[in-house]
């Protein structure tokens, strides 16, 4: 029998995961609200802050809100298909990863479809809504090229987050617990990636471009669309090419994952 394609395997497993999650109806709705509340409080925070102060490092609400919307849309595009990667730590610790290794399906694919994150649907709802609303309010003259660039940037941002999450999965094979690290990455991206990142000073900005590449998620492509590339201490061509960094981050993350997987040792009897 021919082996079903990767995509088909993914769809079959993901559908099963979604069905498992839909068992608990109340949870479905509250989790959806959880996603909205999680990201909504951040938007509320920006609204209150900019309502009182007007600008952050020269960026006004329409611009900051646009970056926020791009980031959130990227996040949704990562967390809807790949959100289950967050559970890897737990599976490695409990030894449940043993079972993954026994099945004749790619381990990464099994991790991704381990559980459907309902909360991600809340993120998607708010992300798409915010992107539609705030990209109209942003000072950008939209044309087909810019819209295509925006979509590419959102996709690139989601791949950056997926790459980081995949890297942490690799790390969990050798570290006992990566929980704090993952929460840190997630909450730093949530709290800080919407700001004009150059405001934290050059060393921090370069760190956000390399060690922890959250500048690529929305800030760098947003400066291109908002004509603010002069804020960024990088060559313009590099800033403009920033949406491509996502593919690189995912490749590196996945390479690390496959290198570390053989180091997994089963914890239990």
Partner 1 sequence: MSTAEQAARIRAFRGMTRAGTRSLLIYRGDLLTGAVTLVIQVVLAIAVWRIVYGDRGPVAGVDVHTAVAYAAIAACLQSVLLPWQFSSLPMRIRNGQIATDLTRPLGLMWQVLGQNFGVLLGRLPLGAIGLAVAGVIGALVLPPSGGAFLLSLVATVAGVLVAMLCNLIVSMVTFWTFEVGGPLIVYRFGSAFLSGSLIPLWFMPGWLRSSVEWLPFQAQVYTPVSIYLGRLRGGEALALVGVQLLWVVVLAVLLELVWRRARHKVVVQGG
Strand pairing of 55-56 and 59-60?
A: antiparallel
Q: How far is the CB of 28 from partner 1 (least distance, A)?
A: 8
Q: How far is the CB of 263 from partner 1 (least distance, A)?
A: 16
Nearer to partner 1, 108 or 173 (CB): 173
Q: How far is the CB of 146 from partner 1 (least distance, A)?
A: 29
User: Residues 60-99, buried b or exposed e (16+ Cβ, 10 A)?
Assistant: ebbbbbbbbbbbbbbbbbbbbbbbbbbebbebbbeebbee
Phi-psi region of 95 (alpha: psi -120 to 50; beta: other; left: phi over 0): left
Nearer to partner 1, 118 or 215 (CB): 118
Q: How far is the CB of 249 from partner 1 (least distance, A)?
A: 20
Q: Is the dihedral of CA 166, 170, 172, 175 positive or negative?
A: negative
Q: How far is the CB of 233 from partner 1 (least distance, A)?
A: 17
What does the alpha-carbon distance between residue 98 and residue 268 come to, in Å, rounded to a whole number?
Answer: 10
Here the tokens at position 19 are 């069905």
Nearer to partner 1, 101 or 183 (CB): 183
Q: How far is the CB of 174 from partner 1 (least distance, A)?
A: 11
Nearer to partner 1, 204 or 241 (CB): 204
CB 67 within 8 Å of CB 191: no
What does the alpha-carbon distance between residue 175 and residue 132 come to, in Å, rounded to a whole number?
Answer: 41
Smallest Cα–Cα separation from 112: which of 14, 185, 22, 23? 14
Nearer to partner 1, 192 or 254 (CB): 192
Nearer to partner 1, 128 or 175 (CB): 175
Residues binding partner 1 (CB under 8 A) = 24, 26-35, 37-38, 40-41, 44-45, 48-49, 51-53, 56-57, 118-119, 175-181, 183-184, 187-188, 191-192, 195, 199-200
For residue 114, the 8-state DSSP code is S
């Amino acid at each position: 029998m021919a082996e079903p394609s990767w995509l088909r395997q993914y769809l079959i497993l993901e559908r099963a995961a979604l069905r498992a999650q839909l068992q608990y109806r109340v949870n479905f709705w509250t989790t959806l609200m959880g996603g909205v509340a999680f990201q909504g409080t951040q938007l509320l925070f920006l609204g209150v802050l900019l309502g009182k102060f007007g600008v952050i490092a020269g960026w006004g609400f329409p611009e900051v809100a646009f970056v926020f919307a791009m980031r959130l849309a990227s996040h949704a595009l990562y967390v809807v298909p790949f959100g289950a990667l967050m559970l890897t730590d737990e599976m490695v610790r409990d030894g449940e990863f043993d079972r993954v290794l026994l099945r004749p399906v790619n381990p990464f694919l099994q991790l991704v479809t381990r559980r459907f994150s309902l909360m991600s649907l809340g993120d998607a709802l708010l992300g798409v809504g915010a992107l539609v609303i705030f990209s109209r309010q942003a000072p950008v003259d939209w044309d087909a090229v810019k819209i295509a660039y925006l979509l590419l940037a959102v996709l690139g941002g989601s791949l950056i987050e997926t790459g980081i999450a995949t890297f942490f999965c690799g790390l969990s094979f050798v570290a006992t617990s990566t929980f704090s690290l993952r929460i840190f990455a997630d909450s730093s991206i949530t709290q800080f990636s919407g700001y004009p990142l150059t405001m934290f000073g050059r060393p921090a900005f370069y760190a956000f471009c390399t060690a922890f590449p959250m500048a690529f998620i929305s800030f760098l492509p947003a400066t291109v669309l908002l004509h603010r590339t002069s804020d960024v201490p990088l060559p313009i061509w590099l800033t403009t090419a920033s949406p491509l960094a996502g593919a690189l981050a995912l490749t590196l993350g996945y390479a690390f994952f496959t290198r570390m997987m053989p180091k997994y040792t089963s914890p239990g009897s």
